[in-house]
Amino acid sequence: MTILPSAPPAGPRQPPGALAEAVLAAALAARREGTLAELLHRRPRLTRWIARRLLQPVLDSGGDALRGAQGELLALQWLLDWAVAQLRPDRQPGFDGIPREAWLERTSWRPMLAVMCHHAFAPVCGFPDRYRARADESPADHLCGLWSVGPSTYYRYLDKGRRQLAELLLAPTSERVLSLRDAMQHQAWGRLRLEDAAARRDWHRAQARRALVEPAPAAALWHLLQAGDADGFVQALQRFRVELGRDALADALIERLAALPLSERQRAELCLAQAALARVRGQDERERQACEQAQRIASAADDRLMLGIVCGTLGKFFEPRDGERAFACYQDSAEFLHQAGVGADPSQPGHHALLQAYVSTLVRLAWLYVLRNDPRSKAVLERAETLREHGGQPDETIAQLEQAWGEYWRRAGDLRAALERKHRALNIYERLGDGQAVVKTWCNLSLLYGDAQDYPRAIEYSQRVLVLAERSAIEPETVASTHLNLGGTYFWQQRYDDAIEQYAAGLARAEAAGLRVLVGRAHYNLAEAHYKRFQALERPEDERRGDTHTAAALAVWEREGDPAPLEATRSLKTEILGTREGHVDRLLPGEWAVHPAEMAEIDRERARLALPLAPAEHVLARLAIARGYAAIAAQEREAALALIERHGLGGRFGAELEALRSTYDRALTREQRLAAKWRDGAGDLLDDARRAALLARLLTAGAVGKSAYAELCGVGLATASKHLGLLAQRGLLVQQGRGPSTRYVLEGPAAGA
């Protein structure tokens, strides 16, 4: 009767190796006695442990050959046969062909031979010239006789063989796992009588379809590889990159696929799939190398479609590292896809795939515009939306579009629309089973609920990401962003200690992964939190740390060349987190209050320039923009006339003024009337120079805040607040918003006079 250890608990009290040896000893004994089926039936917890720890590769490779009531029993028998044969020093399969010297002279063979014969995998080979065994002699006695050793020595060999067996099964190398899968595949072919290559390929395709539905990513890759389906393999690798991120077998399977005769496009797509796997693992250098290898392959083949896809992927890589280079990559992607024939006949072969790639690039380009707070993002998103309606797009692309719209509406201040779009994307990703995209959407929702001041839900979504990151491979960018989002949630709750802790964790993640843009944001957030804590507790150390993080953030933004975060960081300490112009996380205002008609035309043409159209279309757009600015310049001429009159320069600019007259006559007095009204209404508060500077700021930026007024007019914040209130009472300005978001714009009729 087989003696078992107590049923393995969920978390074994003894070391895993000792537990495995005990389980294997019981299984080997049951096999020798012919009671393996009874063992599995009587010990369901043991059966589950074996299936979870040992049998999965066998069941994956055997597919439906191992389904049914006897599947696990047969799988365990096959596994034990293969594992014992793996102990052979010559690495040959099976138990046949063992040479005489291995039986009699080579001690390195004895652990394997002891296990093989003791547990009845194969009989002891007789050598009468060396030892003549009795007919009823046990394998142990027979081997003791052949080797001229006592029972204690024999059992030491047997114990050593069992330990080697346990080590092999508990911590197999990728090479051994592939060997196991190869062996199990041949067993399944034999059991199902799959004798010709076509039948075997069809069988593997069927197993792959089932594995993709379950899902069982490693099994799907294995069967797709055996079926020779390179395209399906790459798609599965991209889809399940998170689940496969910690599976070394994926790399071994990729190597096998790369050794097959693939097309150039398939090789480039495989490189992109490897880049996605490296991204999940946080291997940024490996990710970049894989993308660049794909680019070289596509360039050598002059494959414009593939070049467009690869440039889009490179843009995604550079987004958190180098914003300018990411933007250039997306523009290159759009150009290559345009050259590939986006506007060609839709009936042409491959046009649907081309259109999908083009829409995906538009979405990414729009996303980058959104991240730059550039209103042109809306035009690009609307263009992608139009193309989505004209041709069926895959769910992945639709979800990307919903994500981008969500971020656009968040930055535009419409949180309700933003939440609706983000949850649409989340529903699609959950339906597709795209775990990585689901996690990214959780990260985005944490930020969005923080903006909406729904702090419990913001914290909940952040914690979902961080808890999952502890036990699964999550892209470093997502983890770092989640720490920053959670820190922001704590910041707005005035939990500055918790905010600083999360910001520091995000900074560490971003620095480790080389995510320079996120490093800049983390330093900015840390400076903000330290200054705020200094304001509350007056600890000098907080002020010093705030200065240090401000300097570090400035170093990042100066290299990036983005003026909005650069200016916000420069003014952070001065304003002590009060109202500041050009908030880094909201869409920049236009000039509609100053030049409504002209700016409407300019914005329309700017939107066309944001699209990757033909060069002739861009020429027409730029000429239209030039006409719009010429009309605006007419209004600026009035200011020049005032200066000419004040300084007595009338005789010097006659020719220039005459050349402009035909275009500018209709708008000649607008600025004069506005300046006169302010001279009458604000002469007691501001002198001529200060009024001119303030009006110029209002006409350029559209609005002014308390801190900007103080800087322009050389007064303190309290005086600035008083002046702005008086100007609003006198009808020269209109107050918008309350509290920290208060802004002042020109009074409507006067501005349009």
Query: Which tens digits make up the pLDDT trace of 528-569?
Result: 999 889 888 888 888 889 888 988 888 888 776 666 777 788
Q: What is the pLDDT of residue 263?
A: 92
Does pTM surpass 0.75?
A: no
Residue 98 has which token pair? 């063992």
Please check the confidence at residue 14 and state whether its pLDDT lies above 50: no
Which of these ranges, 2-6, 97-101, 316-320, has the smallest mean pLDDT? 2-6
Q: What is the pLDDT of residue 746?
A: 79
What single letter denotes the amino acid at residue 314? L
Dihedral of CA atoms 428, 432, 433, 437 in degrees, nearest 10, equals -50
Q: What is the pLDDT of residue 287?
A: 92
The Cα-based distances of 530 to 70, 231, 459, 487, 572 in angstroms read 65, 52, 21, 12, 11
Q: What is the pLDDT of residue 585?
A: 53
Q: What is the pLDDT of residue 45?
A: 76
Please check the confidence at residue 17 and state whether its pLDDT lies above 70: no
Please check the confidence at residue 344 and state whether its pLDDT lies above 70: no
The band of 271, judged by pLDDT with boundaries at 50, 70 and 90, is very high
The CATH architecture of the domain made up of 671-753 is Orthogonal Bundle (1.10)
Residues 715, 722 contacting (CB under 8 angstroms): no
Please check the confidence at residue 5 and state whether its pLDDT lies above 50: no
Q: What is the pLDDT of residue 577?
A: 47
Q: Which of 528, 541, 534, 532 is nearest to 569 (CA)?
A: 528
Domain boundaries, the chain: 16-176, 196-302, 601-668, 671-753
State the average pLDDT over residues 158-180: 86
DSSP letter at 123 equals P
Integer Cα distance of 140 and 124 in angstroms: 9
Q: What is the pLDDT of residue 160?
A: 92
DSSP letter at 704 equals B
User: In which region does residue 279 sit, left (phi positive, over 0), alpha (psi from -120 to 50) or beta (all else)?
Assistant: alpha
State the average pLDDT over residues 26-31: 84
Q: What is the pLDDT of residue 479?
A: 93
User: In which region does residue 14 sit, left (phi positive, over 0), alpha (psi from -120 to 50) or beta (all else)?
Assistant: beta
Q: What is the pLDDT of residue 419?
A: 94
Please check the confidence at residue 703 and state whether its pLDDT lies above 60: yes
Residue 147, Cβ density class (10 Å: 0-12 exposed, 13-18 middle, ≥19 buried) = buried
Q: Would you tell me the crossing angle of helices 476-492 and 496-513 to the nearest 10 degrees?
A: 160
Integer Cα distance of 54 and 23 in angstroms: 11
Q: Which comes out higher in pLDDT, residue 6 or 384?
A: 384
State the average pLDDT over residues 203-222: 90
Please check the confidence at residue 466 and state whether its pLDDT lies above 90: yes
The band of 21, judged by pLDDT with boundaries at 50, 70 and 90, is confident
Q: What rounded mean pLDDT belongs to the chain?
A: 81
Which residue intervals of 493-539 are DSSP H helices? 496-513, 516-537
